[in-house]
Amino acid sequence: MASSTPHSSLPARAPGAAGGTVAALQMEGVTLAYPGQVAPVVRDVSLQLAPGDIACLLGPSGGGKTTLLRAIAGFAPLQAGRIAIMGREVSGAGVQVPTEQRNVGMVFQDYALFPHLTVQGNIGFGLHGLGASAAQARVQEMLHMVGLQSLAQRYVHELSGGQQQRVALARALAPKPQLLLLDEPFSNLDVSLREHLAREVRALLKATGTTAVLVTHDQQEAFAVADYVAVLAQGRVQQWGTPMALYHEPVNRLVANFLGEGAWIPMRHSASGTLVTELGSFPAPPGVGADLDAGTQAPQELLVRPDDILHDDASPTKARVTAKVFRGANFLYTLALPSGQAVFSLVPSHHDHALGEYIGIRLELDHRVHFAAEPS
């Protein structure tokens, strides 16, 4: 059974980090408020990120994601806690290293490119510390890396949104920062381009071995780019882990509801030790319900994702199609069970069923996530 306790503090060591490795980013007990306010917007955030890993701060608008990113960059002071980059404390009690001394790169939501400079000029802007020949070589390397060699002499207004995003990324990576921060970098792009560029950005960061932190409210962007995701909501980190773990093993209903579609169906523990639902019964994991007497436990609800319900014409369990959304490769069907309970199912698009039609379904549940039922 999934825990319902929020993870307000993250692991002391990044998942997968080798013992003794200096963390690329370490935050301990970080508490922040919006400018001009006293009440914290983010409380007691602690996490550690290994060199070369990509993390995402994911959550609803107003949850403090960008404020936390600004604190890492040095734009926002801490109310409490500390931040270290590659073992060097940059924010903390009596410590506030200026942004320009943190060796941090940033890609802003609006890209913040210089309209009076060419693509080449924008990428080379932060390379003043290098000699002219070294700077030019680095610019050419970045142009090649982001595939913009032929556009080197173009100006910003002559570029598409996707090309501007690549320029912003190349400019941020050109000085070889120890940490790259990306604040909603795909929000100004259309949906089809976002997914493509998200994959490109991840590939580029991995190719360069760049440690990065991405801020977004879009779970698909988070899943496409990040190795690890921190879900921020209600001022705290609710859960930290891989995208797969967060999707299939959410620690509470808030995380479960934020990450992906799903339905909550009533569930009870039987006297024989099984979990019983309208869609079938299955053995309870070891220890689940062992301390509860059948019929006396608090009402429980089981999370059923669209990919947990399979279309099966041979199944005796039938459900009525009440809505459907065509997604190209599949339909997302909304189905009514005999009780009236609504569930969702992803079905290959060659199974085109009419509204009101009954179809056979079966539950194929690899992950059992359930919590106490919410008060009605």
Task: Write the pLDDT tens digit of every residue in 354-363.
Answer: 999 999 999 9
Q: Which among 269, 293, 298 is positioned nearest to 281, based on CA atoms? A: 269
What pLDDT, on a 0 to 100 scale, did the predictor assign at position 185?
A: 86
3-state secondary structure of 213: strand
- The tokens for 57 are 């701060």
Look up residue 270 and give its amino acid: S
What residues does CATH 3.40.50.300 cover in the chain?
A: 25-253
Say if residue 140's pLDDT is above 60. Answer: yes
Reported as a single tens digit per residue, the pLDDT across 185-213 is 888 777 777 888 888 889 999 999 999 99
- The tokens for 13 are 């060591």
Q: Which residue has the tokens 């369990």?
A: 317
Q: Which among 356, 346, 375 is positioned nearest to 318, based on CA atoms? A: 356
Say if residue 374's pLDDT is above 90. Answer: no
Reported as a single tens digit per residue, the pLDDT across 17-48 is 445 679 999 999 999 988 788 889 999 999 99
Reported as a single tens digit per residue, the pLDDT across 70-116 is 999 999 999 999 999 999 999 999 999 999 999 999 998 888 899 99
Which CA distances in Å does 228 have to 7, 11, 21, 104, 212? 14, 12, 17, 20, 11
The DSSP output letter for 249 is S
Q: Are strands 212-216 and 179-183 parallel, antiparallel or unpaired?
A: parallel
pLDDT-above-70 percentage for the chain:
91
What pLDDT, on a 0 to 100 scale, did the predictor assign at position 3?
A: 37
What is the CATH code for 263-372? 2.40.50.140
CATH architecture of 25-253: 3-Layer(aba) Sandwich (3.40)
What pLDDT, on a 0 to 100 scale, did the predictor assign at position 288?
A: 56
Bridge partners (DSSP) of residue 27 are 47, 83
- The tokens for 29 are 């007990």
CB environment 122-133: b (16+ within 10 A), e (fewer): bbbbbbeebeee
Q: What is the largest CA-CA distance in the chain?
A: 78
* Separation of alpha carbons 163 and 148, rounded Å: 8
Reported as a single tens digit per residue, the pLDDT across 243-292 is 999 999 999 999 999 988 899 999 988 877 788 899 988 777 665 554 44
Look up residue 199 and give its amino acid: R
DSSP secondary structure of 141-197: HHHHHTT-GGGTT-BGGGS-HHHHHHHHHHHHHTT--SEEEEESTTTTS-HHHHHHH
DSSP secondary structure of 17-34: PPTTPPPSEEEEEEEEE-
Say if residue 9's pLDDT is above 80. Answer: no
**Average pLDDT value for the chain:** 87
Neighbours of 110 (CB within 10 A): 12
308 in Cβ contact with 370 (< 8 Å): no
What pLDDT, on a 0 to 100 scale, did the predictor assign at position 376?
A: 66
Say if residue 12's pLDDT is above 50. Answer: no
- Sequence-separated (6 or more) residues with CB below 8 Å from residue 125: 114, 117, 171
What residues does CATH 2.40.50.140 cover in the chain?
A: 263-372
Which CA distances in Å does 71 have to 96, 273, 364? 10, 49, 44
The DSSP output letter for 251 is S
What pLDDT, on a 0 to 100 scale, did the predictor assign at position 126?
A: 83
- The tokens for 73 are 């960059």
